[in-house]
A and B are shown apart, each in its own frame.
Chain A
Amino acid sequence: MPIIVRLDVVLAKRGVKSKDLAAHVGITEANLSLLKSGKVKGVRFSTLAAICDYLDCKPGDILDYTDNA
């Protein structure tokens, strides 16, 4: 998967717990865990906006792209 999720890095930098972020965003901890590990098929804009709002970051801080080729 060329999209890399760096949410765990941002969480660690901000000192925020997954449980608190999940509660604020409105998704389950299980789904947040899947998102952190990059095992989801997609992310809604509303979810991304809520995460960036809580962590005071940009989408580019959380998501990265690598060209495997």
Chain B
Amino acid sequence: MTNVRRSIKILKMVVIATIILVIVGQFWFWLEPFSVDLISATHPIISEYGGIGKLDSTQRAWGFAVTLIPKLALLWSMLLLLQLANALEAGRWFDRECENCCTRIGRWLIVYVALTVVHRTFLVMVITMNNPVGERHLALSVSSDDLMALVPALLALIIGHMVKLARAQRDELNEIV
């Protein structure tokens, strides 16, 4: 049991670090993009269209908003994962809270994947919004990374269902004296 508790503690630290990284990265990239360039961190779509230096402040504000939306879904999933880790640490492995956390994590990760696909379209529109008429772009792309991101989402949904079955079995076992 000590190993399990240690693993849960490590999971919580990783989740908290991810949350901090996502928030700091989002603000840092759009507010101080040139310092981000110094560490060679680039956005693939923005680089394709000439880099963040070509965007004016309005485009950067819109870009910040558009890229923030899928990240909010991801952050919410991370917070639910933290809630799940707290429940597991307290020993509540088969409670309804765990089942609900797993199910909601799965659903929000699916939302995150969908928003990631959609946000690219809007980001390209923002990047090319100041281009002359006829040179503005509209793009729709789905990458293998998006499909891979569905795997943890579906796993979370399956685990949620397993917890539900386990709880039903535990409750039935408790009624046998």
Interface residues of A (CB under 8 A from B): 27, 31-32, 34-35, 40-44, 47
Contacts and interface: CB of A to CB of B under 8 A. Distances in A.
B135 interface: no
A31 B173 CA distance: 13
Interface string B64-107: 00000000000000000000000000000000000000000000
Contacts of B177: 27, 31-32, 34-35, 40, 42-44, 47
Interface in B158-177: 172, 175-177
19 contacts: A27-B177, A31-B177, A32-B177, A34-B177, A35-B177, A40-B175, A40-B176, A40-B177, A41-B172, A41-B175, A41-B176, A42-B175, A42-B176, A42-B177, A43-B176, A43-B177, A44-B176, A44-B177, A47-B177
Nearest to B177: A31
A1 to B, nearest CB: 13
Contacts of B172: 41
Interface of B: 172, 175-177
A34 to B, nearest CB: 7
Given A27-B177, A41-B175, 17 more contacts: A31-B177, A32-B177, A34-B177, A35-B177, A40-B175, A40-B176, A40-B177, A41-B172, A41-B176, A42-B175, A42-B176, A42-B177, A43-B176, A43-B177, A44-B176, A44-B177, A47-B177
A42 B66 CA distance: 58
A31 B175 CA distance: 8
Contacts of B176: 40-44
Contacts of A31: 177
